[in-house]
Amino acid sequence: MYKWIAILLVFFSVAAKAQELNCEVKINYERITDANPQIFRTLERALADFINNTRWTNRNFARNEKIECSMFFNISAFDNNSSFTATLQVQSSRPIYNSTYLSPIFNYNDKDVTFNYTEGQVLFYNPNSYDGNLMAIIAFYANMIIGFDADSFQLNGGTEYYTAAQNMVILAQQSGTKGWNQGEGGNQNRFFMVNDILSNTFTPYREALYEYHLQSLDLMSEDAKKAKENAAKSLKTLIKVHSVRPNAFLTRLFFDAKSDEIVGLFSGGPSITLTEVIDNLNRLSPLNSGKWSNIK
């Protein structure tokens, strides 16, 4: 009996301290025709193991709390010195209360990805050091994913994870590689992503994440009309950002993840007044005006 109690204690201890991410990693190397494909397959496995088995925070996650996410590397150049050039599509989602639906929360294509990797290289995460661009990029997005997720469950709940991502930006700036510095990429790179989200100017953006997810989508199974009204309220919160920074980077990130979902949310179920909703959507994301015209 004591043996089984011990086994159960070990099981629940492991479950309580499970790593934070359940990340699917894909490496597309179709454009590379003069290299052994084994290096890309090895990299894919190594990154998946590294991301999913690293503890990125001090918070204890149960197994059913792991954040669903993906990282898709599209390799555009590779040389035999193990130097890679790629784009990276990062996506994450979070479950909606009392449903099987996963709501997309982050969707970003990073076009400034360069790194070195040799087959068999040991990958490890030290939050206080720069250990190559690959590790820095992975650590940055791992913490951003966890931050977005935390903000959707608790008002400003992601601050400590964004701060860890910002620290990685500071450490990586010494490398001189693209994506980490203020003076490059217009105002839409890793530096600006985390700098903006920690800025008081963009506090309404984080409030909108909380309102839209916890106070709207999570309420759908109980009171669909109230949930839609709260979603409309979250758009009014985002307008506060628009009033100060029209076409802000973070606003674009929101709609890159949410545009299709928003159309579905406001098109079905109990009706609410949509005039102000559609007006706000067109102000916030005019590039998606074609989608907003489908809301009925």
Query: How many structural domains does the chain have?
Result: 2
Cα separation, 56 vs 68, in Å, equals: 15
Q: Can you give the pLDDT at residue 13?
A: 37
The band of 153, judged by pLDDT with boundaries at 50, 70 and 90, is: very high
Residue 3 has pLDDT above 80, yes or no: no
| Residue after which a domain boundary falls, among 198, 230, 252 | 198
Give the tens place of pLDDT for each residue, 224-233: 999 999 999 9
Q: What is the pLDDT of residue 275?
A: 96
Which region among 17-21, 75-79, 96-100 has the lowest average model confidence (pLDDT)?
Answer: 17-21
Long-range pairs for 196-199 at CB < 8 Å and ≥24 separation? 196/248, 196/249, 196/250, 197/147, 197/158, 197/162, 197/250, 198/159, 198/162, 198/163, 198/166
Single out the residue in 153, 174, 198 at which a domain terminates: 198
pLDDT band (50, 70, 90) for residue 16: very low
Do 124 and 271 share a domain, yes or no?
A: no
How far is residue 7's CA from residue 5's CA, in Å, rounded to a whole number? 5
Q: How far apart are alpha carbons 53 and 47 in whole angstroms?
A: 10
Same structural domain for residues 194 and 250?
Answer: no
User: What is the residue range of 127's domain?
Assistant: 1-198
Instruction: Give Cα separations from 181 to 84, 118, 278 (angstroms).
Output: 20, 26, 36
- 248 and 112 both lie in a single domain: no
Taking residues 142-167, report their average pLDDT: 97
pLDDT at residue 9 greater than cutoff 50: no
Regarding whether 112 and 180 lie in a shared domain, the answer is yes
pLDDT level of residue 18 (50, 70, 90 thresholds): low
Q: Is residue 177 located within the same domain as residue 210?
A: no
Model's pTM, two decimal places? 0.92
What local confidence, expressed as pLDDT, does residue 228 receive?
97
Same-domain pairing of 268 and 192: no
At 185 the pLDDT is 66
Q: Rounded mean pLDDT of 244-257? A: 96
The verdict on 235 and 150 lying in the same domain is no
Q: Give the per-residue pLDDT at 80.
A: 77
pLDDT reading at 6 higher than 50? no
Closest CA to 94 of 168, 41, 149: 149
Residue in the block written with tokens 């150049």: 77
Confidence at residue 77, expressed as pLDDT on a 0 to 100 scale: 96
Last residue of a domain, one of 198, 217, 244: 198
Q: Are residues 189 and 221 in the same domain?
A: no
* Domain match, 227 and 276 both: yes
Residue 73 has pLDDT above 80, yes or no: yes
Q: Do residues 155 and 260 share a domain?
A: no
